[in-house]
Amino acid sequence: MGFKYGRLGAKPTAGALIGRTILVLILLTFTVMTIYPILWLIQSSLKTTQEFQMNRIGLPIEPTLSNYPLAWKIGGFTSLFLNSILYTSISTIAIVFLSLSASFAFAKIRMRATKFLYQSFVVGILLTLQSIMVPLFLLTNMVGLYDTRIGILIPYIGLGLPMGVYLGTEFIRSIPDSLIESARLEGAGYIRIFISIIFPISVPVAVTLAIMTVTSIWNEFMLINILASKNSIKSLPVGILKFSGALSSDYGKQFAALVIGMLPMLIFYLIFRKHIQRGLAAGAVKG
């Protein structure tokens, strides 16, 4: 490209300069507002509760990590982490695989059922968890899956499918038919074509979908809050809520717990930032 259209004409008018300064100031203010609470949280987690009460906005005078092991123990973070990892990994693998296999059938195998089935998935993108929360709770109880990991995993997988099927179908439609036709001529069945041709080509959309799913399942709260009452099957977001009720005045441990809860996603974000943002832009096409 070379040409920098962003640098406006050589001599901007005074009005344009003021306008640009205001825009930059808004951006700077908002950025400081965004990062400050996160930095404040981290610095506060390094203070004892006593120190925090004396010094709520300054830097810690005697930084200490002593809050962390205590918060970890009180919060039962070992089990929360294991559960979060389990829910996130199994749901993600299942959503990616099931979405892509259905997407391939919808996009490349002509059947009359496709129109209805595909449309029902697309409508599902607009439906909200709220509209099915009570029935899901009742149904989970009826089939005896309340307070079990499987009873949490199945709804998680179901909730991820509409977006997965939508993105997958859009993507696989763009793969040329000739690729499939020639494999068919060589006698390959559709299942084999899916595994050895379509899936490898679909890796980019699978990655986007997987990253979207990881962030949403890892942070999911509403559903697991009603489907799990045993501590042993709770995930991180439900576990952290403990530090808002009974333990909320023990600030040191509360802040340490929040940092523990925030850190994995923050690291994940810094690694996969590009993918996360691309996934958001792709998902927003359909709203």
Partner 1 sequence: MKSHTRPDERLRAYFLLVLPAVTIYFAVIAFPTIFSITLSLTDYSGGIVFGDRADWSFVGFKHYFRMFRDQYFWIAFKNNIWIMLMSLFIQIPLGFTLAYTIFRKLIVGREFFQTIIYMPTIISCIVVAVLWQTFFSPYGPITDFMRLFNPLWENNLANDPNLAILPVLFVMVWYYTGMYLIIFLANLQKIDSQILEAAQIDGANERQMLFNIILPALSGVVVVTAILAISGSLKSFDLIFAMTSGNPARRTSVLALYMYDNAFKGSPDYPLANAISTFMVAVSFALILVTKKLENRFGGKE
* Residues in 172-211 that interact with partner 1 by CB under 8 A: 181, 184-185, 189-191, 194
Are 103 and 172 in contact by the 8 Å Cβ rule? The answer is yes
* CB proximity list for 108: less than 8 A, separation 6 or greater: 172, 173, 175, 177, 180, 198
Interface stretch with partner 1, choices 67-75, 157-165, 201-209 (CB under 8 A): 157-165
Instruction: Report if residue 120 touches partner 1, rule: CB under 8 A.
Output: yes
Interface with partner 1, residue 35, by CB under 8 A: yes
54 is a contact residue toward partner 1 (CB under 8 A): no
- Chain mean position to CA 109: 31
Indicate whether 33 belongs to the interface with partner 1 (CB under 8 A): yes
> Alpha-carbon distance 264 to 259, whole Å?
9
285 binds partner 1 (CB under 8 A): yes
x/- string (CB under 8 A) for partner 1, residues 79-98? -------------------x
State which of residues 23, 59, 82, 93 lies at the interface with partner 1 (CB under 8 A): 23
Question: Segment near partner 1 (CB under 8 A), from 60-68, 70-78, 136-144, 199-207?
Answer: 136-144
Distance CA 53, CA 55 (A): 6
- Our finding on whether 162 is near partner 1 (CB under 8 A) is yes
Binding to partner 1 by CB under 8 A, coded x per residue (else -) over 254-283, reads xx--x--xx--xx-xxx--x--xxx-xx--
**Residues 204-243 interacting with partner 1 (rule: CB under 8 A):** 215, 218-219, 221-222, 226, 236-238, 240-241, 243
- 174 vs 245 by CB, closer to partner 1: 245
59 binds partner 1 (CB under 8 A): no
Nearer to partner 1 (CB atom), residue 126 or residue 203: 126
